[in-house]
Amino acid sequence: MNRELFGVFGGPDAFGRHADPGEFDRVLEGAAVTVGVRDDALDRPTWTDVHSDDTGCCVVWGEVHTPSDGGDAARWLLDRYATDGRAALSGLNGSYLAVVERDGEALVATDVLRTRECFYADTRTGRAFGSDPVRVASTHGSPTVDPRGVLQFLYLGVVLGARTSLRELSRVRTDAVLTRDDVEPLDRLRYDPREFDYASALAERLDRALDRRVTDRGRTGLLLGAGYDSRAILATHPGIDVCYTVGTSASPEVRGAERLAAQYDTTHVRLEPDGNYLVPSTPEIAAGQGLRETIHVHHGGHEHDMDVDEMFHGMLFDTLFRNHFLPTATVEVGDLTVPFPWLDSDPELVPAYKDSLAFIDPGVNFVERCDAVDTDDPDTFLRRALERELSHCYERCDRRLNALTQLGVRARPTMPFRSHLADRFHERFVAADTALVEWHLRTPPEHRTTETFLRAVRSLDDGLLRHRPPDRPFDSPWLNEIASFLKRSLPGDAYQSPWPDRVRLYEANDLDRELFAESPGLHDVPVRSKLRLNDLSTWLEHVRTRYPTTDVPTDSVQSSVLAR
């Protein structure tokens, strides 16, 4: 990884047992914690910052904004912590990990949405933590595969909650702090619906969030699709130099993005998908962190084609502003399920998340063959896993729909996409802005709609919909639902996904021969299931290769689960 935070609850000797201090740009030694950071943006305003004095020490790693945005975020947090305690964390804005030691207390905190994961492991010499799960797992010495994490990954493409694919490796839950002996909740991600002008407030907050991220520090890029989210950034950011879109020249997504770039007089670059789109290299595998499938790293293998210093994207716009994880109401008409353009008021948990988290039936019952779970039914296994994670959401939510939304926010299956960007560019995560998160928490789900979002961004630029998304040709959401339903239901090629055809790419690159030549029994498994298997087994091999003393049985995923 190009950028990393790693630390231990202990002194420099404990740190040195697990990492060479020379690997890091800065190492801070406190009384209760030692932490190192590596980041070429260290000390750059609104980026990684460190501070140490006789009162304590502090590291803020990632993109971070203080109330004044005047820099010195670490000093600001350490000083504010003296008077406000953990409440001081609410004053930070951005996508970050923070380490604070003062008055003998040390803690590690994520930003409110946990957009940067903090992994930890308990070793013989104390608790180690960091942004790189491979390094943190290696501190244990003999981590073992967690069958429950593996099964969640293979069925859903994500591992839920604090679990990982290794038993001895955990991660800090969303909106919580890690201490020497515990993980303790904060109270920043609490739903508190109110009445206000939702569209106007969203427009104002979106404008401010973009404004605080506009700089003159080199070329600025945007990953642009033909949908609503990234075009909102293109329309309102005054300094986008170049836009990038993955896809073939005939793709409606690419053609739509080209029209948008031309409308806003911005250079557009198309990235042609090839075998690398499906079979990630080590950097993309590292971005998945053994938790999420790396198919979402759409730009993978194209970093050398992206000549920018800062990179923007519209990730989480659909989740925070348009209820991506909540299903619409439906009605049965004969053998067809017809959607309505409003929310299901009481959706069933498993069916809703099977769709939004990309559940795949691999045609093989993995659960049945796993001794570590007390059921042989995948639906029961998934329902229990989802209910367990949902139970952590209810205490912060006023209603079931918000709890289901928070479950989706916690899962975030697309996170490898931005993790990879953040490791290679000065990535600007607009949706992580605390004012936008606050809008999400205060707006009832029935008002977190595409209509509200479009009213907001149209007030910033009334030309936003001059070129419509290819899958939303009408003003009426009802007509768009009908058109989408018909395209998906009718035979032929009326419906085209905005993403490259994964099955075609898999077959064109003969990936069964490349990935599973010695496992012909897997050739009939769905393509995406095979890609998940390759993701996970490659990540585990990465753990063992990078730290040879770590005894991870990398063949256990395939031989013990799939090859049976």
* Per-residue model confidence (pLDDT) at position 58: 97
User: What per-residue confidence (pLDDT) applies to 563?
Assistant: 41
Domain boundary assignment for the chain: 4-147+165-185, 198-317+413-496, 349-411, 504-558
Which two tokens mark 224? 């642009």
| Residues 15/7, Cβ–Cβ less than 8 Å | yes
Q: What is the mean pLDDT of residues 521-534?
A: 91
Per-residue model confidence (pLDDT) at position 499: 72
In the predicted model, what is the mean pLDDT of residues 517-543? Answer: 89
How much is the pLDDT for 338? Answer: 61
pLDDT above 50: residue 65 = yes
**Each residue of 544-562: pLDDT tens digit?**
887 766 666 544 444 444 4
Assign 33 a pLDDT band (cuts: 50, 70, 90).
very high
496 has pLDDT over 60? no
Q: Which residues pair with 8 in a beta bridge?
A: 34, 128
At residue 64 the predicted structure's pLDDT band, cuts being 50, 70 and 90, is very high
pLDDT of amino acid 555: 47
Region 193-201: mean pLDDT is 97
The rounded percent of the chain whose pLDDT value lies above 70 is 90
Reply yes or no on whether the pLDDT at 353 is more than 90: no
Task: Give residue 335's pLDDT band: very low, low, confident or very high (50, 70, 90).
Answer: low
Give the chain's mean pLDDT: 88
Whether 29 shows a pLDDT value over 70: the answer reads yes
Residues 374-400, mean pLDDT to the nearest whole number? 90
Alpha-carbon separation of residue 2 from 43, 282, 287, 443, 546 (angstroms): 16, 12, 11, 38, 15
- Residue 551: its pLDDT value, please? 63
Residue 493 predicted with pLDDT over 70: no
Output the pLDDT for position 557.
Answer: 47
Question: What is the pLDDT, as a whole number, of residue 283?
Answer: 84
Nearest Cα residue to 11 out of 145, 147, 125, 164: 125
Q: Band of the pLDDT at 418, cuts 50, 70, 90?
A: very high
Least confident of 303-312, 432-441, 479-488: 479-488
Per the listing, tokens 């290696």 go with 138
Confidence (pLDDT) at 562: 44
- Two domains, one topology: 4-147+165-185 and 198-317+413-496: no
pLDDT of the residue at 564: 34
Instruction: Record the pTM.
Output: 0.92
| Residue 486 binned pLDDT confidence (cut-offs 50, 70, 90) | low
Q: What is the pLDDT of residues 249-302, one digit of tens each?
A: 989 999 999 999 999 999 999 999 877 778 878 888 889 999 999 988 888 878
Contact 258, 231 (CB under 8 A): no
Would you state the pLDDT for residue 485? 62
Which CATH architecture describes the domain 198-317+413-496? 3-Layer(aba) Sandwich (3.40)
Architecture (CATH level 2) of domain 4-147+165-185: 4-Layer Sandwich (3.60)
pLDDT of residue 553: 57
pLDDT 10s digits, 235-261: 999 999 999 999 989 899 999 999 999
Give the neighbor-by-neighbor strand order of the sheet with 183-185: 49-53, 56-65, 93-102, 105-110, 176-178, 183-185
Number of H helices, E strands in the chain: 20, 19
> 36 vs 500, which has greater pLDDT?
36
Give the pLDDT confidence score for residue 68 in this predicted structure: 81
Which of 40-54, 270-284, 372-386, 404-418 shows the lowest mean pLDDT across its residues?
270-284
Residue 438 has pLDDT above 80, yes or no: yes
Residue 321 has which token pair? Answer: 């502003």
Q: Which amino acid is at 327?
A: P
